[in-house]
A and B are shown apart, each in its own frame.
Chain A
Amino acid sequence: MASVQISDVRKSFGGFEVLHGVTVPIEDGAFVVLVGPSGCGKSTLLRMLAGLENITSGTISIGNRVVNNVQPKERDIAMVFQNYALYPHMTVAQNMGFSLKLRNANQQDITSRVKKAAEILALTPLLERFPRQLSGGQRQRVAMGRAIVRDPQVFLFDEPLSNLDAKLRVAMRTEIKELHQRLKTTTVYVTHDQIEAMTMADKIVVMHDGIVEQMGSPLELYDKPDNQFVAGFIGSPAMNFLNGHLKANGQVYVETEEGARLPLATAPTASDGKPVVYGIRPEHLDLASDGIEAEVIVVEPTGSETQIVARIGKQDIIAVFRERHDVKPGERIHLRPRASSAHLFDKDTGHRL
Chain B
Amino acid sequence: MSTVQTSMPAQTAAAGEQSLWSRLRASRNWAALWFMLPAAAFLILFLAYPLGLGIWMSFTDERIGRAGVFIGLENYLWLWDDAIFWLSVFNTILYTLIASVIKFAIGLYLALLLNRHMPFKAMIRSIVLIPFIVPTVLSAIAFWWIYDAQFSIISWSLIKLGLIEHNINFLGDSTWARASVIFANVWRGVPFVAITLLAGLQTVSPSLYEAATLDGATNWQRFRYITYPLLTPIIAVVMTFSVLFTFTDFQLIWALTRGGPVNATHLMATLSYQRGIISGRLGEGAAIATAMIPFLLAAIAISWFGMQRRKWQQGSNND
Q: Which residues of A are at the interface with B, using a C-beta cutoff of 8 A?
A: 50-52, 72-73, 77-79, 81-83, 85, 87-90, 98-99, 102-103, 130-133, 135-136, 139, 146, 150, 163
- Nearest residue (CB) in A for B216 is A73
Contact A103 B317, beta carbon cutoff 8 Å: no
Minimum CB–CB distance for B316 against chain A, Å: 7
The verdict on A52 contacting B312 (CB below 8 Å), with A83-B205, A89-B229, A99-B216 known, is no
Contact A130 B205, beta carbon cutoff 8 Å: no
Q: Report Cα–Cα, A241/B229, bound state, in Å.
A: 56
Q: Report Cα–Cα, A139/B313, bound state, in Å.
A: 16
Q: Report Cα–Cα, A228/B310, bound state, in Å.
A: 55
Question: B82 interface residue, CB < 8 Å from A?
Answer: no
| Beyond A81-B210, A99-B216, 13 additional pairs, beta carbon < 8 A | A50-B214, A77-B214, A81-B207, A83-B205, A85-B211, A87-B212, A89-B229, A89-B310, A98-B215, A102-B225, A130-B312, A150-B215, A163-B319
Q: Report Cα–Cα, A78/B214, bound state, in Å.
A: 7
Minimum CB–CB distance for B113 against chain A, Å: 22
Contact A72 B214, beta carbon cutoff 8 Å: yes
The verdict on A79 contacting B211 (CB below 8 Å), with A87-B226, A99-B216, A102-B217 known, is yes
Q: Report Cα–Cα, A135/B213, bound state, in Å.
A: 25
- Nearest residue (CB) in B for A79 is B214
Q: Say which residue of B207, B212, B312 sits within 8 Å of A89 (CB atoms).
A: B312
Contacts of A52 in B (CB 8 A): 210, 213-214
The verdict on A130 contacting B211 (CB below 8 Å), with A89-B229, A102-B221 known, is no
Q: Report Cα–Cα, A87/B310, bound state, in Å.
A: 14
Contacts of B315 in A (CB 8 A): 130, 132-133
Contact A85 B205, beta carbon cutoff 8 Å: yes
The 17 listed contacts between A and B (C-beta, < 8 Å) are: A73-B214, A73-B215, A73-B216, A78-B214, A79-B211, A82-B207, A83-B207, A85-B208, A87-B211, A87-B212, A89-B310, A98-B212, A102-B221, A131-B312, A132-B312, A136-B319, A146-B211
The verdict on A89 contacting B211 (CB below 8 Å), with A103-B216, A136-B319 known, is no
Contacts of B215 in A (CB 8 A): 73, 98-99, 102, 146, 150
Contact A88 B216, beta carbon cutoff 8 Å: no
- Nearest residue (CB) in B for A78 is B214
Number of B interface residues in the complex (CB < 8 A): 25
Contacts of A146 in B (CB 8 A): 211, 215
Contacts of A150 in B (CB 8 A): 215
Contact A73 B213, beta carbon cutoff 8 Å: yes
Question: B28 interface residue, CB < 8 Å from A?
Answer: no
Contacts of A102 in B (CB 8 A): 215-217, 221, 225
Contacts of B316 in A (CB 8 A): 132-133
The verdict on A132 contacting B317 (CB below 8 Å), with A83-B207, A99-B216 known, is yes
**Which of A89, A139, A163 is the most central at the interface, judged by chain B CB atoms within 10 Å of its CB?**
A89
Contact B213 A72, beta carbon cutoff 8 Å: yes
Question: B11 interface residue, CB < 8 Å from A?
Answer: no
Contacts of B314 in A (CB 8 A): 132
Q: Report Cα–Cα, A82/B205, bound state, in Å.
A: 12
Q: Say which residue of B210, B310, B311, B313 sits within 8 Å of A85 (CB atoms).
A: B210
- Nearest residue (CB) in B for A163 is B319
Question: B97 interface residue, CB < 8 Å from A?
Answer: no
Q: Report Cα–Cα, A216/B97, bound state, in Å.
A: 67
The verdict on A130 contacting B311 (CB below 8 Å), with A81-B207, A85-B207 known, is yes
Minimum CB–CB distance for B15 against chain A, Å: 46
Minimum CB–CB distance for A202 against chain B, Å: 24
Contact B312 A88, beta carbon cutoff 8 Å: yes
Contact A89 B230, beta carbon cutoff 8 Å: yes
Q: Report Cα–Cα, A136/B316, bound state, in Å.
A: 12
- Nearest residue (CB) in B for A139 is B319
Q: Report Cα–Cα, A85/B206, bound state, in Å.
A: 9
Contacts of B205 in A (CB 8 A): 83, 85
Q: Report Cα–Cα, A102/B221, bound state, in Å.
A: 8
Minimum CB–CB distance for B229 against chain A, Å: 5
Q: Report Cα–Cα, A163/B318, bound state, in Å.
A: 11
Contacts of A131 in B (CB 8 A): 312
Contacts of A83 in B (CB 8 A): 205, 207
Contacts of B230 in A (CB 8 A): 88-89
Contact A135 B319, beta carbon cutoff 8 Å: yes
Contacts of A88 in B (CB 8 A): 230, 312-313
Q: Report Cα–Cα, A85/B314, bound state, in Å.
A: 18
